[in-house]
Structure 1
Amino acid sequence: MSSPGSASASAPPLTPPPLPAAVLWDMDGTLVDTEGYWMDAETALVESFGGTWTHEQALTLVGSGLDRSGEILQDAGVRMAVPDIVAHLTRVVAARLSTEGNPFRPGAVELLQDLRAAGVRTALVTMSLRDMALTVAGQMGFDAFDLVVAGDDVTRPKPFPDPYLQACTALGVDPDDAVAIEDSPTGVRAAAAAGVTTIGVPLMVPLDGAGAHVLWPTLAGRTTDDLSAAHAARRTSRHEVHA
Protein backbone atom coordinates (compact mmCIF):
# COMPACT_ATOMS: atom_id res chain seq x y z
CA MET A 1 0.00 0.00 0.00
CA SER A 2 1.33 3.42 -0.90
CA SER A 3 2.03 5.80 1.95
CA PRO A 4 0.39 9.23 2.07
CA GLY A 5 2.23 11.70 -0.14
CA SER A 6 3.97 9.00 -2.18
CA ALA A 7 4.47 9.42 -5.92
CA SER A 8 1.67 6.93 -6.59
CA ALA A 9 -0.88 8.90 -4.55
CA SER A 10 -3.89 10.06 -6.52
CA ALA A 11 -3.52 13.51 -8.04
CA PRO A 12 -6.31 16.01 -7.44
CA PRO A 13 -8.88 16.17 -10.26
CA LEU A 14 -8.19 18.74 -12.94
CA THR A 15 -10.47 21.76 -12.97
CA PRO A 16 -12.25 21.99 -16.32
CA PRO A 17 -11.76 25.23 -18.28
CA PRO A 18 -14.49 27.84 -17.80
CA LEU A 19 -17.33 27.99 -20.28
CA PRO A 20 -17.25 30.77 -22.87
CA ALA A 21 -19.76 33.53 -22.21
CA ALA A 22 -21.28 33.03 -25.67
CA VAL A 23 -20.80 31.02 -28.85
CA LEU A 24 -21.48 32.87 -32.11
CA TRP A 25 -22.40 30.80 -35.15
CA ASP A 26 -22.08 31.63 -38.81
CA MET A 27 -24.98 30.16 -40.77
CA ASP A 28 -24.33 29.32 -44.45
CA GLY A 29 -21.64 26.67 -44.65
CA THR A 30 -21.18 26.42 -40.87
CA LEU A 31 -24.54 25.56 -39.37
CA VAL A 32 -26.23 24.56 -42.62
CA ASP A 33 -24.61 23.36 -45.85
CA THR A 34 -26.41 25.86 -48.09
CA GLU A 35 -23.45 27.13 -50.10
CA GLY A 36 -24.45 24.81 -52.93
CA TYR A 37 -27.95 26.31 -52.89
CA TRP A 38 -26.51 29.80 -53.33
CA MET A 39 -24.19 28.65 -56.12
CA ASP A 40 -27.06 27.01 -57.99
CA ALA A 41 -29.15 30.18 -57.70
CA GLU A 42 -26.25 32.36 -58.88
CA THR A 43 -25.54 30.12 -61.85
CA ALA A 44 -29.18 30.08 -62.99
CA LEU A 45 -29.43 33.86 -62.67
CA VAL A 46 -26.24 34.60 -64.63
CA GLU A 47 -27.20 32.11 -67.33
CA SER A 48 -30.66 33.68 -67.64
CA PHE A 49 -28.85 36.80 -68.90
CA GLY A 50 -26.72 34.80 -71.34
CA GLY A 51 -23.60 34.72 -69.18
CA THR A 52 -21.54 31.95 -67.62
CA TRP A 53 -20.77 31.40 -63.94
CA THR A 54 -18.06 28.95 -62.99
CA HIS A 55 -17.57 27.08 -59.73
CA GLU A 56 -14.37 29.06 -59.20
CA GLN A 57 -16.28 32.35 -59.53
CA ALA A 58 -18.91 31.12 -57.11
CA LEU A 59 -16.26 30.28 -54.53
CA THR A 60 -15.16 33.93 -54.46
CA LEU A 61 -18.55 34.88 -53.00
CA VAL A 62 -18.44 32.41 -50.10
CA GLY A 63 -18.85 34.36 -46.87
CA SER A 64 -19.29 37.73 -48.59
CA GLY A 65 -22.02 40.25 -47.90
CA LEU A 66 -24.95 39.95 -50.28
CA ASP A 67 -24.60 43.48 -51.65
CA ARG A 68 -21.01 42.78 -52.66
CA SER A 69 -22.11 39.50 -54.22
CA GLY A 70 -24.75 41.39 -56.18
CA GLU A 71 -22.14 43.77 -57.55
CA ILE A 72 -19.96 40.89 -58.70
CA LEU A 73 -22.95 39.24 -60.38
CA GLN A 74 -23.64 42.51 -62.19
CA ASP A 75 -20.07 42.36 -63.50
CA ALA A 76 -20.88 38.83 -64.73
CA GLY A 77 -23.73 40.22 -66.85
CA VAL A 78 -26.78 40.24 -64.58
CA ARG A 79 -28.73 43.34 -65.62
CA MET A 80 -30.58 43.93 -62.37
CA ALA A 81 -30.16 46.36 -59.50
CA VAL A 82 -28.19 44.98 -56.56
CA PRO A 83 -31.20 44.96 -54.18
CA ASP A 84 -33.18 43.02 -56.80
CA ILE A 85 -30.36 40.49 -57.20
CA VAL A 86 -30.20 40.01 -53.43
CA ALA A 87 -33.97 39.61 -53.17
CA HIS A 88 -34.05 37.12 -56.05
CA LEU A 89 -31.25 34.91 -54.71
CA THR A 90 -32.74 35.00 -51.23
CA ARG A 91 -36.17 33.92 -52.53
CA VAL A 92 -34.67 31.02 -54.47
CA VAL A 93 -32.56 29.73 -51.56
CA ALA A 94 -35.39 30.28 -49.05
CA ALA A 95 -37.74 28.26 -51.26
CA ARG A 96 -35.32 25.32 -51.22
CA LEU A 97 -34.97 25.58 -47.44
CA SER A 98 -38.74 25.60 -46.99
CA THR A 99 -39.23 22.51 -49.16
CA GLU A 100 -36.08 20.55 -48.32
CA GLY A 101 -35.46 21.65 -44.72
CA ASN A 102 -32.18 22.64 -43.11
CA PRO A 103 -29.20 20.71 -44.55
CA PHE A 104 -27.28 20.71 -41.27
CA ARG A 105 -23.54 20.20 -41.23
CA PRO A 106 -22.40 17.12 -39.29
CA GLY A 107 -22.32 17.67 -35.54
CA ALA A 108 -23.78 21.20 -35.64
CA VAL A 109 -27.16 20.42 -34.07
CA GLU A 110 -25.64 18.17 -31.42
CA LEU A 111 -23.09 20.82 -30.43
CA LEU A 112 -25.77 23.51 -30.24
CA GLN A 113 -27.92 21.28 -28.05
CA ASP A 114 -24.95 20.59 -25.79
CA LEU A 115 -24.23 24.32 -25.46
CA ARG A 116 -27.83 25.09 -24.61
CA ALA A 117 -27.92 22.31 -22.02
CA ALA A 118 -24.77 23.81 -20.45
CA GLY A 119 -26.42 27.24 -20.28
CA VAL A 120 -24.09 28.90 -22.81
CA ARG A 121 -25.61 31.82 -24.71
CA THR A 122 -25.64 31.49 -28.50
CA ALA A 123 -26.14 33.79 -31.47
CA LEU A 124 -26.52 33.35 -35.21
CA VAL A 125 -24.28 35.85 -37.02
CA THR A 126 -24.88 35.67 -40.76
CA MET A 127 -24.67 37.83 -43.86
CA SER A 128 -27.91 36.31 -45.15
CA LEU A 129 -31.01 38.45 -44.76
CA ARG A 130 -32.90 38.34 -41.46
CA ASP A 131 -35.96 36.61 -42.92
CA MET A 132 -33.85 33.70 -44.12
CA ALA A 133 -31.90 33.53 -40.87
CA LEU A 134 -35.15 33.39 -38.92
CA THR A 135 -36.40 30.63 -41.24
CA VAL A 136 -33.32 28.52 -40.51
CA ALA A 137 -33.49 29.25 -36.77
CA GLY A 138 -37.19 28.41 -36.75
CA GLN A 139 -36.53 25.01 -38.31
CA MET A 140 -34.02 23.98 -35.64
CA GLY A 141 -36.63 22.12 -33.61
CA PHE A 142 -35.52 23.74 -30.31
CA ASP A 143 -34.71 27.18 -28.92
CA ALA A 144 -31.24 27.32 -30.44
CA PHE A 145 -30.32 31.01 -30.36
CA ASP A 146 -30.63 33.96 -28.00
CA LEU A 147 -29.96 36.40 -30.83
CA VAL A 148 -29.84 36.71 -34.61
CA VAL A 149 -27.60 39.29 -36.31
CA ALA A 150 -28.21 39.25 -40.07
CA GLY A 151 -26.78 40.99 -43.09
CA ASP A 152 -29.50 43.64 -43.13
CA ASP A 153 -28.85 44.43 -39.45
CA VAL A 154 -25.30 45.73 -39.95
CA THR A 155 -23.76 48.66 -41.79
CA ARG A 156 -20.48 46.93 -42.61
CA PRO A 157 -20.57 43.20 -43.44
CA LYS A 158 -17.96 40.53 -42.87
CA PRO A 159 -14.90 40.69 -43.15
CA PHE A 160 -15.40 43.80 -41.01
CA PRO A 161 -15.72 42.87 -37.32
CA ASP A 162 -18.99 44.79 -36.95
CA PRO A 163 -21.40 41.80 -37.04
CA TYR A 164 -19.54 40.02 -34.25
CA LEU A 165 -19.06 43.15 -32.19
CA GLN A 166 -22.77 43.89 -32.57
CA ALA A 167 -23.65 40.39 -31.38
CA CYS A 168 -21.38 40.67 -28.33
CA THR A 169 -22.83 44.07 -27.43
CA ALA A 170 -26.40 42.81 -27.73
CA LEU A 171 -25.59 39.75 -25.58
CA GLY A 172 -23.70 41.88 -23.05
CA VAL A 173 -20.48 39.87 -23.31
CA ASP A 174 -16.87 40.90 -23.88
CA PRO A 175 -15.57 39.63 -27.26
CA ASP A 176 -12.59 38.13 -25.40
CA ASP A 177 -15.06 35.88 -23.56
CA ALA A 178 -16.78 34.62 -26.73
CA VAL A 179 -16.17 31.94 -29.35
CA ALA A 180 -17.11 32.09 -33.04
CA ILE A 181 -17.48 29.19 -35.47
CA GLU A 182 -16.90 29.99 -39.15
CA ASP A 183 -16.38 28.18 -42.47
CA SER A 184 -15.05 30.94 -44.75
CA PRO A 185 -11.92 33.12 -44.79
CA THR A 186 -14.16 36.21 -44.85
CA GLY A 187 -16.02 35.11 -41.73
CA VAL A 188 -12.85 34.01 -39.94
CA ARG A 189 -11.28 37.42 -40.53
CA ALA A 190 -14.37 39.17 -39.19
CA ALA A 191 -14.50 37.12 -36.00
CA ALA A 192 -10.76 37.31 -35.35
CA ALA A 193 -10.77 41.08 -35.93
CA ALA A 194 -13.53 41.38 -33.34
CA GLY A 195 -11.27 39.73 -30.76
CA VAL A 196 -13.34 36.56 -30.53
CA THR A 197 -11.77 33.10 -30.23
CA THR A 198 -12.30 31.81 -33.77
CA ILE A 199 -12.75 28.17 -34.71
CA GLY A 200 -12.60 27.44 -38.42
CA VAL A 201 -14.47 24.48 -39.86
CA PRO A 202 -13.80 24.62 -43.63
CA LEU A 203 -16.34 23.52 -46.21
CA MET A 204 -15.93 24.93 -49.72
CA VAL A 205 -12.62 26.74 -49.34
CA PRO A 206 -9.52 26.12 -47.18
CA LEU A 207 -8.94 28.26 -44.10
CA ASP A 208 -5.18 27.89 -43.73
CA GLY A 209 -3.68 31.30 -43.07
CA ALA A 210 -7.06 33.03 -42.67
CA GLY A 211 -6.44 33.74 -38.98
CA ALA A 212 -8.52 31.11 -37.18
CA HIS A 213 -7.17 30.24 -33.75
CA VAL A 214 -8.17 26.58 -34.20
CA LEU A 215 -9.06 24.54 -37.28
CA TRP A 216 -11.39 21.55 -36.95
CA PRO A 217 -12.18 19.36 -39.97
CA THR A 218 -15.71 18.79 -38.68
CA LEU A 219 -18.02 19.55 -35.76
CA ALA A 220 -19.01 15.89 -35.52
CA GLY A 221 -18.24 14.60 -32.04
CA ARG A 222 -17.35 18.04 -30.69
CA THR A 223 -18.78 19.15 -27.34
CA THR A 224 -18.98 22.19 -25.10
CA ASP A 225 -15.84 20.90 -23.36
CA ASP A 226 -13.93 21.04 -26.66
CA LEU A 227 -15.02 24.64 -27.25
CA SER A 228 -14.10 25.59 -23.69
CA ALA A 229 -10.65 24.00 -24.05
CA ALA A 230 -9.98 25.80 -27.34
CA HIS A 231 -11.14 29.08 -25.84
CA ALA A 232 -9.02 28.67 -22.72
CA ALA A 233 -5.92 27.78 -24.77
CA ARG A 234 -6.31 30.85 -26.96
CA ARG A 235 -6.83 33.18 -24.00
CA THR A 236 -3.83 31.72 -22.17
CA SER A 237 -1.64 32.16 -25.24
CA ARG A 238 -2.87 35.72 -25.77
CA HIS A 239 -2.27 36.73 -22.17
CA GLU A 240 1.23 35.20 -22.20
CA VAL A 241 2.12 37.24 -25.28
CA HIS A 242 0.98 40.45 -23.61
CA ALA A 243 2.52 39.64 -20.21
Structure 2
Amino acid sequence: MTTVDTTTTSLDETGGRGLQAVLVDMDGTLVDTEHFWWQAESSLFAELGHPLDETHRAQVVGGPMTRVIDYLLGITGLQLSPAELTVQINQRFVDLLDGGAPLMPGAEELLRLLAEQRIPAALVSASHRRIIDLVLKNLGDHPFAFSVAGDEVTRTKPHPDPYLAAVARFGADPARCVVIEDAPLGVQAGEAAGCPVIAVPSVAPIEPAPGRTVLRSLAELDLELLRSVVAARV
Protein backbone atom coordinates (compact mmCIF):
# COMPACT_ATOMS: atom_id res chain seq x y z
CA MET A 1 0.00 0.00 0.00
CA THR A 2 1.25 3.45 -0.89
CA THR A 3 1.80 5.86 1.98
CA VAL A 4 0.34 9.35 1.66
CA ASP A 5 3.00 12.03 1.41
CA THR A 6 2.44 14.22 4.44
CA THR A 7 4.77 16.99 3.27
CA THR A 8 3.01 20.26 4.00
CA THR A 9 1.80 22.24 1.00
CA SER A 10 1.96 26.01 1.55
CA LEU A 11 -1.34 27.81 2.07
CA ASP A 12 -2.21 31.19 0.67
CA GLU A 13 -2.80 33.91 3.23
CA THR A 14 -6.50 33.59 3.98
CA GLY A 15 -6.84 35.58 7.17
CA GLY A 16 -6.69 34.58 10.79
CA ARG A 17 -9.85 32.49 10.92
CA GLY A 18 -11.00 32.21 7.31
CA LEU A 19 -11.19 29.56 4.64
CA GLN A 20 -7.91 27.64 4.27
CA ALA A 21 -8.65 24.90 1.73
CA VAL A 22 -11.34 23.07 -0.22
CA LEU A 23 -11.33 19.26 -0.34
CA VAL A 24 -13.35 17.85 -3.23
CA ASP A 25 -14.65 14.32 -3.72
CA MET A 26 -14.36 12.93 -7.24
CA ASP A 27 -16.98 10.34 -8.29
CA GLY A 28 -20.44 11.86 -8.50
CA THR A 29 -19.25 15.20 -7.09
CA LEU A 30 -16.71 16.53 -9.58
CA VAL A 31 -17.16 14.10 -12.46
CA ASP A 32 -20.23 12.14 -13.50
CA THR A 33 -18.74 8.67 -12.99
CA GLU A 34 -21.21 7.10 -10.55
CA HIS A 35 -23.22 5.73 -13.46
CA PHE A 36 -19.98 4.29 -14.89
CA TRP A 37 -19.37 2.41 -11.63
CA TRP A 38 -22.94 1.13 -11.61
CA GLN A 39 -22.71 0.12 -15.27
CA ALA A 40 -19.43 -1.72 -14.59
CA GLU A 41 -20.88 -3.55 -11.57
CA SER A 42 -24.33 -4.32 -12.95
CA SER A 43 -23.14 -5.45 -16.39
CA LEU A 44 -20.49 -7.74 -14.90
CA PHE A 45 -22.90 -9.36 -12.44
CA ALA A 46 -25.50 -9.80 -15.18
CA GLU A 47 -22.94 -11.68 -17.27
CA LEU A 48 -22.13 -13.82 -14.23
CA GLY A 49 -25.80 -14.75 -13.82
CA HIS A 50 -26.64 -12.38 -10.96
CA PRO A 51 -28.53 -9.36 -12.34
CA LEU A 52 -28.71 -6.35 -10.04
CA ASP A 53 -31.56 -3.86 -9.90
CA GLU A 54 -31.84 -0.21 -8.91
CA THR A 55 -32.61 -1.09 -5.28
CA HIS A 56 -28.95 -2.07 -4.91
CA ARG A 57 -27.55 1.08 -6.48
CA ALA A 58 -27.93 3.34 -3.45
CA GLN A 59 -26.10 0.71 -1.36
CA VAL A 60 -22.92 0.85 -3.45
CA VAL A 61 -22.68 4.58 -4.22
CA GLY A 62 -19.79 6.50 -2.73
CA GLY A 63 -18.31 3.65 -0.75
CA PRO A 64 -14.84 2.15 -0.65
CA MET A 65 -14.35 -0.78 -3.01
CA THR A 66 -13.96 -3.24 -0.13
CA ARG A 67 -17.39 -2.35 1.19
CA VAL A 68 -18.97 -2.51 -2.28
CA ILE A 69 -17.41 -5.91 -2.97
CA ASP A 70 -18.51 -7.32 0.39
CA TYR A 71 -22.05 -6.11 -0.23
CA LEU A 72 -22.28 -7.49 -3.77
CA LEU A 73 -20.82 -10.86 -2.83
CA GLY A 74 -23.13 -11.03 0.17
CA ILE A 75 -26.35 -10.43 -1.74
CA THR A 76 -25.47 -12.64 -4.73
CA GLY A 77 -23.45 -15.47 -3.19
CA LEU A 78 -21.11 -15.26 -6.18
CA GLN A 79 -18.15 -17.63 -5.81
CA LEU A 80 -15.34 -15.21 -6.59
CA SER A 81 -12.64 -13.92 -4.28
CA PRO A 82 -12.92 -10.23 -3.31
CA ALA A 83 -9.52 -9.59 -4.93
CA GLU A 84 -10.58 -11.16 -8.24
CA LEU A 85 -13.89 -9.30 -8.32
CA THR A 86 -12.17 -6.00 -7.52
CA VAL A 87 -9.82 -6.43 -10.47
CA GLN A 88 -12.69 -7.21 -12.84
CA ILE A 89 -14.85 -4.28 -11.75
CA ASN A 90 -11.94 -1.82 -11.81
CA GLN A 91 -10.89 -2.93 -15.28
CA ARG A 92 -14.42 -2.63 -16.62
CA PHE A 93 -14.71 0.84 -15.07
CA VAL A 94 -11.38 1.94 -16.57
CA ASP A 95 -12.53 0.74 -20.00
CA LEU A 96 -15.71 2.82 -19.65
CA LEU A 97 -13.78 5.83 -18.40
CA ASP A 98 -11.11 5.73 -21.08
CA GLY A 99 -12.95 8.20 -23.27
CA GLY A 100 -13.30 10.67 -20.41
CA ALA A 101 -16.10 11.46 -17.99
CA PRO A 102 -18.36 14.51 -18.13
CA LEU A 103 -18.12 17.08 -15.37
CA MET A 104 -21.04 17.37 -12.98
CA PRO A 105 -23.22 20.49 -13.39
CA GLY A 106 -21.39 23.45 -11.88
CA ALA A 107 -18.06 21.59 -11.62
CA GLU A 108 -16.36 23.66 -14.31
CA GLU A 109 -17.36 26.84 -12.49
CA LEU A 110 -16.06 25.40 -9.19
CA LEU A 111 -12.69 24.58 -10.73
CA ARG A 112 -12.49 28.07 -12.21
CA LEU A 113 -13.40 29.65 -8.86
CA LEU A 114 -10.71 27.69 -7.00
CA ALA A 115 -8.10 28.64 -9.61
CA GLU A 116 -9.03 32.32 -9.92
CA GLN A 117 -9.26 32.85 -6.15
CA ARG A 118 -6.10 30.78 -5.58
CA ILE A 119 -7.86 28.70 -2.95
CA PRO A 120 -5.73 25.68 -1.96
CA ALA A 121 -7.61 22.58 -3.10
CA ALA A 122 -7.18 18.82 -3.04
CA LEU A 123 -9.05 15.94 -4.65
CA VAL A 124 -9.97 13.31 -2.03
CA SER A 125 -11.50 10.08 -3.34
CA ALA A 126 -12.22 6.50 -2.32
CA SER A 127 -11.17 5.49 -5.85
CA HIS A 128 -7.73 3.99 -6.38
CA ARG A 129 -4.73 5.96 -7.61
CA ARG A 130 -4.89 4.47 -11.11
CA ILE A 131 -8.42 5.78 -11.58
CA ILE A 132 -7.79 9.20 -10.04
CA ASP A 133 -4.80 9.75 -12.31
CA LEU A 134 -6.89 8.83 -15.36
CA VAL A 135 -9.61 11.31 -14.38
CA LEU A 136 -7.07 14.07 -13.71
CA LYS A 137 -5.39 13.37 -17.04
CA ASN A 138 -8.71 13.76 -18.82
CA LEU A 139 -9.42 16.97 -16.89
CA GLY A 140 -6.25 18.61 -18.15
CA ASP A 141 -5.64 21.86 -16.26
CA HIS A 142 -7.02 21.75 -12.73
CA PRO A 143 -6.43 23.62 -9.47
CA PHE A 144 -5.67 20.64 -7.22
CA ALA A 145 -2.37 20.83 -5.35
CA PHE A 146 -2.50 17.05 -4.79
CA SER A 147 -4.92 14.14 -4.53
CA VAL A 148 -5.54 11.43 -1.94
CA ALA A 149 -6.62 7.98 -3.21
CA GLY A 150 -8.51 5.27 -1.38
CA ASP A 151 -5.63 2.81 -1.69
CA GLU A 152 -3.20 5.31 -0.12
CA VAL A 153 -4.73 5.36 3.35
CA THR A 154 -5.14 2.61 5.93
CA ARG A 155 -8.87 3.31 6.22
CA THR A 156 -10.83 5.08 3.50
CA LYS A 157 -14.29 6.66 3.58
CA PRO A 158 -16.50 6.60 5.68
CA HIS A 159 -13.51 6.89 8.04
CA PRO A 160 -12.03 10.39 8.31
CA ASP A 161 -8.49 9.29 7.37
CA PRO A 162 -8.46 10.56 3.74
CA TYR A 163 -9.64 14.02 4.74
CA LEU A 164 -7.36 14.14 7.77
CA ALA A 165 -4.44 13.24 5.47
CA ALA A 166 -5.32 16.12 3.14
CA VAL A 167 -5.74 18.58 6.02
CA ALA A 168 -2.38 17.51 7.48
CA ARG A 169 -0.64 17.89 4.14
CA PHE A 170 -1.93 21.45 3.90
CA GLY A 171 -0.93 22.08 7.51
CA ALA A 172 -4.45 23.39 8.03
CA ASP A 173 -7.24 23.42 10.60
CA PRO A 174 -10.04 20.94 9.73
CA ALA A 175 -12.67 23.49 10.75
CA ARG A 176 -11.30 25.82 8.06
CA CYS A 177 -11.27 23.21 5.26
CA VAL A 178 -14.54 22.75 3.36
CA VAL A 179 -15.37 19.23 2.16
CA ILE A 180 -17.57 18.90 -0.94
CA GLU A 181 -19.28 15.50 -1.26
CA ASP A 182 -22.16 13.76 -3.03
CA ALA A 183 -22.61 10.54 -1.02
CA PRO A 184 -23.63 9.83 2.59
CA LEU A 185 -20.45 7.88 3.36
CA GLY A 186 -18.29 10.72 2.08
CA VAL A 187 -20.26 13.23 4.13
CA GLN A 188 -19.73 11.00 7.16
CA ALA A 189 -15.97 10.98 6.49
CA GLY A 190 -15.74 14.75 6.14
CA GLU A 191 -17.73 15.39 9.29
CA ALA A 192 -15.72 12.83 11.26
CA ALA A 193 -12.59 14.74 10.22
CA GLY A 194 -14.05 17.90 11.76
CA CYS A 195 -14.62 19.73 8.47
CA PRO A 196 -17.68 21.73 7.43
CA VAL A 197 -19.38 19.81 4.61
CA ILE A 198 -21.23 20.95 1.52
CA ALA A 199 -23.24 18.03 0.15
CA VAL A 200 -24.56 17.81 -3.41
CA PRO A 201 -26.46 14.47 -3.46
CA SER A 202 -26.10 12.42 -6.65
CA VAL A 203 -27.86 9.07 -6.07
CA ALA A 204 -28.62 8.66 -2.37
CA PRO A 205 -30.46 11.44 -0.50
CA ILE A 206 -28.65 13.55 2.12
CA GLU A 207 -30.45 15.63 4.72
CA PRO A 208 -29.23 18.98 6.09
CA ALA A 209 -27.64 18.85 9.54
CA PRO A 210 -25.56 21.07 11.82
CA GLY A 211 -22.28 21.83 10.07
CA ARG A 212 -23.67 20.49 6.79
CA THR A 213 -25.08 22.45 3.86
CA VAL A 214 -27.05 20.58 1.18
CA LEU A 215 -27.24 21.98 -2.36
CA ARG A 216 -29.09 20.78 -5.43
CA SER A 217 -26.07 21.41 -7.68
CA LEU A 218 -22.51 22.71 -7.58
CA ALA A 219 -23.88 25.60 -9.61
CA GLU A 220 -25.31 26.97 -6.33
CA LEU A 221 -21.84 27.13 -4.77
CA ASP A 222 -19.86 30.37 -4.70
CA LEU A 223 -17.05 32.03 -2.76
CA GLU A 224 -19.43 33.63 -0.29
CA LEU A 225 -20.91 30.25 0.63
CA LEU A 226 -17.47 28.64 1.04
CA ARG A 227 -16.45 31.42 3.39
CA SER A 228 -19.72 31.41 5.29
CA VAL A 229 -19.68 27.69 6.17
CA VAL A 230 -16.20 28.16 7.65
CA ALA A 231 -17.22 31.32 9.52
CA ALA A 232 -20.11 29.41 11.08
CA ARG A 233 -17.66 26.87 12.51
CA VAL A 234 -14.82 29.06 13.74
RCO higher in 1 or 2 (8 Å CA, sep ≥ 6)? 2
Closer, same or farther in 2 for the Cα pair 1:87/1:144, shift >3 Å?
A: farther
Counterpart amino acid of 2:90? T
1:95 aligns with 2:95: yes
Provide the aligned C-alpha RMSD in A.
1.9
CA positional deviation for 1:95: 1.7
Provide the residue aligned with 1:196 in structure 2: 195
The 5 Å alignment of 1:198-213 reads 198-208=197-207, 213=212
Provide the residue aligned with 1:226 in structure 2: 225
Q: Distance in 1 between matches of 2:210 and 2:104?
A: 22
The 5 Å alignment of 1:1-243 reads 20-75=19-74, 76-99=76-99, 101-208=100-207, 213-233=212-232, 235-236=233-234
Q: Distance in 1 between matches of 2:157 and 2:85?
A: 19
Counterpart amino acid of 2:96? R
TM-score, with structure 1 as normaliser: 0.84
Counterpart amino acid of 1:46? F
Comparing 191-200 and 217-226, the one that deviates more: 217-226
C-alpha deviations, 1:143-168, integer Å up to 9, x for none?
33111111101111211111110111
CA positional deviation for 1:52: 2.3
Q: Distance in 1 between matches of 2:224 and 2:111?
A: 12
8 Å CA contact retained: 1:18, 1:228: no
Q: Distance in 1 between matches of 2:77 and 2:41?
A: 11
CA positional deviation for 1:79: 2.6
8 Å CA contact retained: 2:62, 2:185: yes
C-alpha deviations, 1:104-128, integer Å up to 9, x for none?
1011121122112211111111111
Q: Which runs of 5+ in 2 are unaligned?
A: 1-14
Q: Which runs of 5+ in 1 are unaligned?
A: 1-15, 237-243
8 Å CA contact retained: 2:175, 2:230: no
CA positional deviation for 1:69: 0.9
Counterpart amino acid of 2:139? M
C-alpha deviations, 1:11-64, integer Å up to 9, x for none?
xxxxx9975211001111100111111111111121222112111112101111
Comparing 184-193 and 211-220, the one that deviates more: 211-220
CA positional deviation for 1:189: 0.6
8 Å CA contact retained: 2:58, 2:204: yes
Question: How high is the sequence identity, in percent, across the aligned residues?
Answer: 37
Q: Distance in 1 between matches of 2:119 and 2:70?
A: 38
8 Å CA contact retained: 1:23, 1:122: yes
Q: Distance in 2 between matches of 1:62 and 1:215?
A: 17
8 Å CA contact retained: 2:111, 2:142: no
8 Å CA contact retained: 2:124, 2:163: yes
CA positional deviation for 1:229: 2.1
Which runs of 4 or more aligned residues in structure 1 lie more than 4 Å from their structure 2 counterparts after TM superposition? 16-19, 209-212
8 Å CA contact retained: 1:189, 1:211: no
Q: Distance in 2 between matches of 1:202 and 1:212?
A: 16
